[in-house]
Amino acid sequence: MPLISVIVPTRLRNHLLPRALRSLLAQTLQDLEILVVDDNPPEARLSSDPALAPWLQDARVRVLVHEQPRNAAAARNVGLRAARGEWITFLDDDDAYQPAKLEKQREYARQSGMPLGICGVTFHLAHRQRLWLLPGDELGGSELLLQPLALPSIFHRNAERILFDEGLSAGEDAHYFFRLVAHFGVKRIFNVPESLVDVYPQPGPRVNANAEGLWQAALAIHREFAPAYGAHAAEAFLARARLGYLKLKPGELQETTKVAWRLWRLRGRKELRFIMNALLFKVPWARRLLVS
């Protein structure tokens, strides 16, 4: 059995998939399986694209055809149900891993004895790069609830009964993370304090710009998991989620400012970047420089 299973859902982006696969096949830790979930409509299946043949023929790659595509959560669950690895991680079809990503996260997991961890991420925007990075080797307490996490940074022990909520149209990755935290019963996770993932936001509609879907996921997290982190953290989480919702909605400047002030009162300078991002997102010329 492989040590690590990497789940890569893909839909209508065959031209981007080779970058993701190249980064996985070049990993310094080679005890892995790559589960490519073909979420395409029948006329665009991966098997019909000759340009992908060299990548898909590698013995480490398994293509799983999702017969009834629904959403990202359902596609990832196809991969989770088929995963044979002791450890699980994820990669979107338009992103890439740094060569030592799997090796470093596996070593941190071994040394810490923790079943769940994260790493840093670099967002490659049109005109700049943004580094998302947390200091220290661990993350715990209320920061587990209040720090946003990118799904490709998550590395966890295989938890066969834990799946994504297929009823969520966005934000399912954050909800899944808290399912894992609750399942493992942990109060702290390990952190590799360097960027090991490259994220390339694509033009056009994106799930992380689905304001209503993200808000519904946040409400589910607040209802199911936030009380365990205390009333203050739960209130701050909801204010943060509401601000993220409002920044994506046209207009709403007065309400956005009101919620931004509430979050500042709850969290202070820790949220300065996020608050400024939300307010600047209301300015059309500044929006293209920001991570949505």
pLDDT score of 94: 94
pLDDT tens-digit readout, 200-228? 987 755 556 789 999 999 999 999 999 99
- Examine the pLDDT at 163 and tell me if it is beyond 90: yes
Tokens 């500044």 found at:
286
C-alpha Rg value of the chain to the nearest Å: 19
- If residue 279 lies in a helix (H) or strand (E), which one and from where to where? helix 272-280
- Examine the pLDDT at 119 and tell me if it is beyond 90: yes
Q: How far apart are CA 239 and CA 230, in angstroms?
A: 14
Across 169-186, average pLDDT: 96
Specify the 3-state DSSP secondary structure of 150.
coil
Its pTM surpasses 0.85: yes
Q: How far apart are CA 154 and CA 114, in angstroms?
A: 13
- Examine the pLDDT at 23 and tell me if it is beyond 60: yes
Residue 168 tokens read as 């969520």
pLDDT score of 285: 53
- Examine the pLDDT at 131 and tell me if it is beyond 70: yes
Q: How far apart are CA 148 and CA 240, in angstroms?
A: 10
Q: How far apart are CA 233 and CA 230, in angstroms?
A: 6
Cβ–Cβ < 8 Å for 77, 164: yes
Residue 120 tokens read as 């840093």
Residue 157 bridge partners (DSSP): 87
**What is the overall mean pLDDT for the chain?**
92
Burial grade of 222 (CB within 10 A; 0-12, 13-18, 19 or more): middle
Chain-centroid distance of CA 66 in Å reads 20
CB atoms near residue 68 (< 10 Å): 6
Specify the 3-state DSSP secondary structure of 216.
helix
Q: How far apart are CA 35 and CA 52, in angstroms?
A: 15
pLDDT tens-digit readout, 249-288? 888 889 999 999 999 999 999 999 899 989 888 776 555 5
